[in-house]
């Protein structure tokens, strides 16, 4: 047992141990084995050890393991009786907390009254904190408190022990709620796993980590992305915790998204680019989701670019993109994959009917006139479709759609008919669509759009033609080309025709009330004409709306004229037409020149007019044969006392040529497109007032 001898002072006898206990610094004496033999009272004051706790224990038990090497080296250099250079080590207190201690020691082994290594140990934790804080701890705390970044201290279990104001500013939670709570309580479910993993790995290898966590916000449903840096300072006496700093990366994420958007989107139109489209298609195929691929190419883009310049071309492409985005369902992918080439991916479409209808809807959306800064322009679009099956690859689907698009383009040549390469709808698809049409007729989805017919010489309005439209609840507005075959196949001629006539008569009734009486041309199918009660039905509808049968023009195709014999229980179209004629309606032969028309047929019927098919009108400007056909038809009609209506008049030049050859009436986009009821009423009202 170490004995410390009393020292004699002049005034009397003073116990040296009493004197040592008065010192603010810890004084320790270690024996040769490094075990504690003596500690003064400061050891208990500063580190909380009682005599029973320190007596006989190895000094290394109380040292931080990382500081062993420093301690051993310094002990080896301790000179006899001389106090050498101080070293800094971490020493644990009775509660397991770490204190930063500055130690100087001297070797007094040879002195029997001491017999060991004397260490003077000073706690410099506060001093170091002071140094870090630049001499002003309160100010430093204020700076941290108002820092825009979150600063938090966690204990080894991830419990928040202190937090600055940024946490409240960014996430809304009050410090009183946060302190004492696990950090995980404020982390969104999707980030929880990551946090647990990071805390686990930190407690294993004490490595600093940086992660992005989705954080909850008080009173808001939205989450906020925060990037957190975790630094393990659990063994740092000054800090004694895991220091977490976090900053808001919402803006950073936005920039990141923008960059990604730029890399995967077309800058001009904002649509997906080829690479994004390819990776989406690849994903659909990989997860086995059925998908329809529509390849779209503009028909007359180059002339617009060449004639009006690239700015006009860009403007046009942007408008095309907007129409495409409108024409598809949310979730479909619309991409620009080349100068004037686009691809639509419609996941979930697995049938030809829906796919073909989508392609038709896209074509018709894109062929409407564009209003550019340089004036109005018209370009068509050709679309080809392919549908995925278990054998499909990205390349095969795109190639199929591309081929069908080219077939459509070469077949179309300015007309609105679909490509011959179009896949046939299968029986069950036809059935489904026919059911939808039957139900749609009942719900009022089938309506008439009206297109004005104008006198080429007086410019007066001489009639309107009713053109059927089906407002399909999912596919939007459909033109007759996409559903007329269904009407016929499903035997819906009568209800369909009745819906169109009813819709047109309602609009004409409104015009009648305004004092405007316009002849109404309606298209009748063979199925309608074969129905024994068609004439009665038409007369009833027309008169119910206060219109005259003399106002009605029945348009029939040459095919109707050729079907002369009645099936069992049916009438022959001839009979029905005679009855309609007798009731006051005029008859007009539609699409003249495209079918089997011969003079015999024309003479056999009590016709009032012929409609020259639009393909001849379209070719008039450039093709001498087409011009000749128009002249012959006009001459023929003259001779027979019939009026001639030219269809599909799109340009002023066509109008002029038709007028010169003596054609009577004209109908076409030049004057007006087919208009829905409201648009027709206002167009006609103002046209009649002006002309």
Q: Which parts of this chain interact with ligand C2E (CB under 6 A)?
A: 416, 451, 467-468, 479-481, 484, 500, 523-525, 555, 590-591, 614, 647-650, 667-669, 674
Q: Three-state SS across 221-232?
A: EEEEEEEEEEEE
Distances in Å between the Cα of 77 and the Cα atoms of 81, 117, 471, 502 are 12, 12, 97, 112
Question: What is 536-550 written as a DSSP string?
Answer: HHHHHHHHHTT--GG
Stretch that binds Mg ion, among 34-42, 431-439, 533-541, 588-596 (CB under 5 A): 588-596
User: 89 with 71: CB under 8 angstroms?
Assistant: yes
**Backbone CA torsion sign across 68, 70, 76, 81:** negative
Minimum gap (Å) between residue 382 Cβ and ligand C2E: 14
Minimum gap (Å) between residue 527 Cβ and ligand C2E: 8
Stretch that binds Mg ion, among 436-444, 540-548, 589-597, 601-609 (CB under 5 A): 589-597
Residue 481 contacts which entry, Mg ion, ligand C2E, none (Cβ below 5-8 A, type-dependent): ligand C2E
Give the pair of three-digit tokens for residue 493: 């001629």
Minimum gap (Å) between residue 468 Cβ and Mg ion: 10
Residue 340 contacts which entry, Mg ion, ligand C2E, none (Cβ below 5-8 A, type-dependent): none
Residue 650 touches Mg ion, criterion: CB under 5 A: no
User: 446 with 496: CB under 8 angstroms?
Assistant: yes
Count of residues of this chain found to bind Mg ion when the rule CB under 5 A is applied: 5
Minimum gap (Å) between residue 618 Cβ and ligand C2E: 7
Minimum gap (Å) between residue 419 Cβ and ligand C2E: 16
Residue 490 contacts which entry, Mg ion, ligand C2E, none (Cβ below 5-8 A, type-dependent): none
Q: Which is nearer to ligand C2E, 351 or 595 (CB)?
A: 595
Residue 664 contacts which entry, Mg ion, ligand C2E, none (Cβ below 5-8 A, type-dependent): none
Residue 4 contacts which entry, ligand C2E, Mg ion, none (Cβ below 5-8 A, type-dependent): none
Stretch that binds Mg ion, among 249-257, 293-301, 432-440, 639-647 (CB under 5 A): 639-647
Residue with tokens 């920039």: 255
Residue 591 touches Mg ion, criterion: CB under 5 A: yes
Q: Which is nearer to ligand C2E, 140 or 669 (CB)?
A: 669
User: 332 with 346: CB under 8 angstroms?
Assistant: yes
Q: What are phi and psi of 435, to 5 degrees?
A: -60, -45
Minimum gap (Å) between residue 500 Cβ and Mg ion: 12
Residue 525 contacts which entry, Mg ion, ligand C2E, none (Cβ below 5-8 A, type-dependent): ligand C2E
CA atoms within 13 A on the CB side of 260: 7
Q: Which is nearer to ligand C2E, 524 or 538 (CB)?
A: 524
Question: What is 584-648 written as a DSSP string?
Answer: T-EEEEEEETSS---HHHHHHS-EEEEEE-HHHHHHTTT-HHHHHHHHHHHHHHHHHT-EEEE--
Helix ranges (H only) for 469-596 are 484-489, 493-513, 526-529, 534-544, 558-562, 573-582
Residue 40 contacts which entry, ligand C2E, Mg ion, none (Cβ below 5-8 A, type-dependent): none
Q: Which is nearer to ligand C2E, 386 or 433 (CB)?
A: 433
Residue 468 contacts which entry, ligand C2E, Mg ion, none (Cβ below 5-8 A, type-dependent): ligand C2E
Minimum gap (Å) between residue 488 Cβ and Mg ion: 16
Dist. CA 190–CA 205, nearest whole Å: 25
Q: Which is nearer to Mg ion, 372 or 454 (CB)?
A: 454
Q: What are phi and psi of 158, to 5 degrees?
A: 85, 15
Residue 555 touches Mg ion, criterion: CB under 5 A: yes
Helix, strand or coil, per DSSP, at residue 170? helix
Minimum gap (Å) between residue 331 Cβ and Mg ion: 38
Minimum gap (Å) between residue 522 Cβ and Mg ion: 8
Give residue 663's region: left, alpha or beta (phi > 0; psi -120 to 50).
Answer: beta
Give the pair of three-digit tokens for residue 495: 């209800």
Residue 232 contacts which entry, Mg ion, ligand C2E, none (Cβ below 5-8 A, type-dependent): none
Dist. CA 605–CA 281, nearest whole Å: 56
Instruction: Specify burial of residue 424 (Cβ count, 10 A radius: 0-12, 13-18, 19+).
Output: exposed
User: 463 with 504: CB under 8 angstroms?
Assistant: no
Residue nearest to ligand C2E (CB): 668
Instruction: Specify burial of residue 65 (Cβ count, 10 A radius: 0-12, 13-18, 19+).
Output: exposed
From 142, 148, 146, select the one nearest 247 (Cα to Cα).
Answer: 148
User: 211 with 248: CB under 8 angstroms?
Assistant: no
Q: Which is nearer to ligand C2E, 523 or 571 (CB)?
A: 523
Question: Which of 590, 626, 650, 664 forms a contact with Mg ion (CB under 5 A)?
Answer: 590
Give the pair of three-digit tokens for residue 424: 């046939």
Minimum gap (Å) between residue 521 Cβ and ligand C2E: 8
Q: Which is nearer to ligand C2E, 242 or 671 (CB)?
A: 671
Q: Which is nearer to ligand C2E, 195 or 521 (CB)?
A: 521
From 677, 290, 320, 327, select the one nearest 472 (Cα to Cα).
Answer: 327
Q: Which is nearer to ligand C2E, 332 or 626 (CB)?
A: 626
Minimum gap (Å) between residue 649 Cβ and ligand C2E: 6
Q: Which is nearer to ligand C2E, 94 or 484 (CB)?
A: 484
Q: What are phi and psi of 150, to 5 degrees?
A: -70, 135
User: 399 with 292: CB under 8 angstroms?
Assistant: no
Q: Which is nearer to ligand C2E, 495 or 662 (CB)?
A: 495
Stretch that binds Mg ion, among 120-128, 169-177, 306-314, 642-650 (CB under 5 A): 642-650
Q: Which is nearer to ligand C2E, 332 or 555 (CB)?
A: 555
Question: Which of 523, 551, 571, 576 forms a contact with Mg ion (CB under 5 A)?
Answer: 523
Minimum gap (Å) between residue 332 Cβ and ligand C2E: 25
User: 547 with 512: CB under 8 angstroms?
Assistant: yes
Q: Which is nearer to ligand C2E, 271 or 468 (CB)?
A: 468
Minimum gap (Å) between residue 645 Cβ and ligand C2E: 10
Helix, strand or coil, per DSSP, at residue 450? strand
Q: Which is nearer to ligand C2E, 17 or 369 (CB)?
A: 369
Dist. CA 318–CA 312, nearest whole Å: 10
The footprint of Mg ion (CB under 5 A) covers 523, 555, 590-591, 647
């Amino acid at each position: 047992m170490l004995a410390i001898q009393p020292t004699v002072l002049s005034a009397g006898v003073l116990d040296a141990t009493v004197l040592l206990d008065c010192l603010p610094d810890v004084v320790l004496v270690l024996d040769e084995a490094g075990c504690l033999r003596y500690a003064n009272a400061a050891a208990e004051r500063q580190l909380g050890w009682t005599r029973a706790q320190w007596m006989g224990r190895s000094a290394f038990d109380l040292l931080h393991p990382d500081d062993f090497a420093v301690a051993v080296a310094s002990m080896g250099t301790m000179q006899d009786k001389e106090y050498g250079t101080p070293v800094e080590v971490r020493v644990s207190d009775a509660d397991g907390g770490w204190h930063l201690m500055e130690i100087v020691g001297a070797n007094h082994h040879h002195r029997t009254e001491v017999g060991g290594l004397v260490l003077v140990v000073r706690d410099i934790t506060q001093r170091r904190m002071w140094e870090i804080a630049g001499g002003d701890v309160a100010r430093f705390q204020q700076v941290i408190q108002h820092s825009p970044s979150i600063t938090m201290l966690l204990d080894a279990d991830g419990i928040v022990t202190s937090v600055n104001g940024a946490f409240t500013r960014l996430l809304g939670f009050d410090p009183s709620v946060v302190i004492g709570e696990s950090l995980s309580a404020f982390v969104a479910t999707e980030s929880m796993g990551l946090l647990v993993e990071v805390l686990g790995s930190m407690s294993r290898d004490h490595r600093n980590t940086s992660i992005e966590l989705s954080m909850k916000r008080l009173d808001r449903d939205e989450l906020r992305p925060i990037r957190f840096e975790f630094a393990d300072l659990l063994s740092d006496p000054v800090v004694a915790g895991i220091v977490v700093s976090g900053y808001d990366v919402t803006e950073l994420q936005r920039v990141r998204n923008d960059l990604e958007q730029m890399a995967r989107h077309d800058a001009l139109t904002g649509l997906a680019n080829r690479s994004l489209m390819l990776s989406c298609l690849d994903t659909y195929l990989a997860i086995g989701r059925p998908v329809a691929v529509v390849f779209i190419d503009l028909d007359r883009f180059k002339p617009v670019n060449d004639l009006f310049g690239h700015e006009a071309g860009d403007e046009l492409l942007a408008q095309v993109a907007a129409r495409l985005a409108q024409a598809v369902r949310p979730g479909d992918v619309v991409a620009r994959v080349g100068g004037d080439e686009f691809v639509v991916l419609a996941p979930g479409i697995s049938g030809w009917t829906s796919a073909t209808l989508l392609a038709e809807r896209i074509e018709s959306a894109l062929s409407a006139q564009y209003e550019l800064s340089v004036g109005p322009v018209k370009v068509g679009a050709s679309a080809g479709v392919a549908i995925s099956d278990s054998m499909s690859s990205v390349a095969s689907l795109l190639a199929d759609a591309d081929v069908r698009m080219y077939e459509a383009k070469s077949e179309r040549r300015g007309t609105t008919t679909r490509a011959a390469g179009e896949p046939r709808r299968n029986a069950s698809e036809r059935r489904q669509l026919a059911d939808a049409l039957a139900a749609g007729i009942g719900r009022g989805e089938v309506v008439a759009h009206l297109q004005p017919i104008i006198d080429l010489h007086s410019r007066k309005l001489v009639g309107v033609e009713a053109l059927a439209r089906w407002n399909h609840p999912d596919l939007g507005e459909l033109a007759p080309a996409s559903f007329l075959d269904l009407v016929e196949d499903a035997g819906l001629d009568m209800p369909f025709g009745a819906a169109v006539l009813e819709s047109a008569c309602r609009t004409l009734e409104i015009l009648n009330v305004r004092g405007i009486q316009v002849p109404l041309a309606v298209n009748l199918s063979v199925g309608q004409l074969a129905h024994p009660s068609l004439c009665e039905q038409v007369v009833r509808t027309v008169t119910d709306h206060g219109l005259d049968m003399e106002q009605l023009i029945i348009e029939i195709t040459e095919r109707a004229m050729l079907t002369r014999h009645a099936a069992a229980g049916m009438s022959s179209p001839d009979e029905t037409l005679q009855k309609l004629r007798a009731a006051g309606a005029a008859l007009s032969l539609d699409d003249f020149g495209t079918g089997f028309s011969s003079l015999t047929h024309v003479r056999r019927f009590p016709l009032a007019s012929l409609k020259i098919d639009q393909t001849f009108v379209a070719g008039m400007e450039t093709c001498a044969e087409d011009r000749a056909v128009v002249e012959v038809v006009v001459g023929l009609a003259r001779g027979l006392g019939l009026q001639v209506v030219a269809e599909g008049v799109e340009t002023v030049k066509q109008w002029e040529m038709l007028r010169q050859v003596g054609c009577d009436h004209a109908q076409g986009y030049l004057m007006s497109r087919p208009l829905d009821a409201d648009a027709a009423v206002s167009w006609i009202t103002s046209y009649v007032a002006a002309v």
